[in-house]
Amino acid sequence: MERVSFSRRGTLRKIYLAQNPTWRHPLVGYVLCPFIVAIGIIFTLFLQKALGGVRFSGSFLILSILFTALFWGTGPALIALVLGTILLDYYFVPPIGHVLSGSWQDTAQLIPFVIAGLTIALITAQRERARLRALGTEQELQAYAEELEVANHKLEEANQTKDQFLSIASHELKTPITSIRGYTQLTIRRLTKQKDLSPEMEDVSATLQKINDQTSRLTSLIDELMDVSSIRAGKLELRKQKCDLRDICREVVKDQRLLSGRTITVNMPEKAIMIQVDQHRIEQVFANLISNAIKYSPDEQPIEVILQQYDGTTTVRVKDFGQGIPKDEQERIFETFYRTPDAQTSSKRGLGLGLAIVKDIVERHNGRIWCESTPGQGSTFFVEL
């Protein structure tokens, strides 16, 4: 409160008073305190008469000050103290019936009463200060909360604009890339059919192959962006049908072996694993986990894919013997655009979207996905359906 300006203190005081009922306004206290002090002195005089003398004549007056302070604050309490002192002097300090006309020794008898009254007024003033301080903090917090809400609103709008941009940009990019890929593949096929290609045309064919590889990479990046914007917009639809999970796994493993030339071992039950899933999306889950295992482990290491069914739950495990993922990053890798610092500094490219999409697909199938990993020994991704 020290640094709070005078006008701010005034405003806080007004708010504080407005929060109290009208009868507790200090003005009411100023009006009532003479009556309360009068009641105090009447009780004291009554006791004096009934008992033939009171030892602590100021007790009831102290109670009057306490009562006034409790309900109306410091100002009325100080007035009660002044009135109480005058009445005590009048009724109990010789010469009785006069104010401030006794010897200093007689008047000094009032000192304990005045000190007690001042202590009550001081404690009340501190309580009021503390209440005003708390009110000030509450007001500041409220202002911060409002600011945060506005900032949050703006962030949400910016996020929506970003999602819209992602969606439009990826859709717009997809069409020309698809036609570039189509024409490139067509030309490659035509060139492959021709016998005895000149060295020049061999070069052209190799270049076209590179264009095809890069455009297919670009296509999968655009697909990931489109998936993410559909997920954010809640538009990722699933077309579920009953299928054998082993068939999906076999297909994906076959493709990944062809694409990478890596050793991928598969372990699955002999009995069909029939479940109701969106075949295309579950293929995407397998493909993503296996291609990550390939990408983030050395070429000479195998990848293990294990399918198990137990008690109505199907578990898929994709295990690699790569660099692994530190414990504190094992949850974050499922966030959109998150890549581990190791991945960011490596030559392995990616947008950090694959696992976020996979997680969404798995969860939409009421499943769950997690990762267990020991850095330096490899990682295992688990999918439970």
Shortest Cβ 131–ligand ADP spacing (Å)? 53
Whole-Å CA distances, 322 to 65, 225, 304, 343, 378: 80, 27, 12, 12, 4
**352 forms part of the interface with ligand ADP (CB under 6 A):** yes
- Residue 316 pairs with which residues in a beta bridge? 307, 383
Q: How far is the CB of 370 from ligand ADP (least distance, A)?
A: 12
Minimum CB distance to ligand ADP smaller for 205 or for 336: 336
Instruction: Kindly tell me which residue out of 355, 361, 362, 369 binds ligand ADP, with binding defined by CB under 6 A.
Output: 355
Using CB under 6 A, which residues numbered 46 to 105 contact ligand ADP?
A: none
Tokens of 336: 């959109």
Check binding of 350 to ligand ADP (CB under 6 A): yes
Size of interface with ligand ADP, in residues (CB under 6 A): 19
Least separation in angstroms between residue 140's CB and ligand ADP is: 41
**256 near ligand ADP (CB under 6 A):** no
State the burial class of residue 80 (Cβ atoms within 10 Å of its Cβ: 0-12, 13-18, 19+): buried
351 binds ligand ADP (CB under 6 A): yes
Quote the least distance from Cβ 360 to ligand ADP, whole Å: 11
DSSP assignment of 228-274: HHHHHTT------EEEEHHHHHHHHHHHHHHHH---EEEE--SS--E
45: enclosing H helix or E strand: helix 26-51
364-375 burial: b if 16+ Cβ within 10 Å, else e: bbebebebebee
d(Cα 75, Cα 125) in Å, to the nearest integer? Answer: 9
If one asks whether residue 383 binds ligand ADP (CB under 6 A), the answer comes out as no
CB of 318 to ligand ADP, least distance (A): 8
**What is the CA angle 318-301-265, rounded to 5?**
45
Q: Least distance (Å) from ligand ADP to the CB of residue 355?
A: 3
Nearer to ligand ADP, 207 or 265 (CB): 265
DSSP-derived pairing of the beta strands 313-319 and 378-384 = antiparallel
Q: What are phi and psi of 21, to 5 degrees?
A: -65, 155
8 A C-beta contact, residue 74 and residue 124:
yes
Q: Which amino acid is at 229?
A: S
Query: Following DSSP, what letter does each residue of 269-301 receive, concatenated?
Result: -SS--EEEE-HHHHHHHHHHHHHHHHHTS-TTS
Site for ligand ADP (CB under 6 A): which residue of 354, 365, 367, 383? 354
Q: How far is the CB of 293 from ligand ADP (least distance, A)?
A: 5
Considering only residues 1 through 40, tell me which ones interact with ligand ADP, judged by CB under 6 A: none
Q: Which of residues 307-326 bind ligand ADP (CB under 6 A)?
A: 320, 322-323, 325
- Where does this chain touch ligand ADP (CB under 6 A) — which range of 35-43, 197-205, 269-277, 344-352? 344-352
Closest residue to ligand ADP: CB criterion: 350
Which C-beta is closer to ligand ADP: that of 88 or that of 343?
A: 343
- Binding residues for ligand ADP (CB under 6 A): 292-293, 296, 320, 322-323, 325, 333, 339-340, 343, 350-356, 379
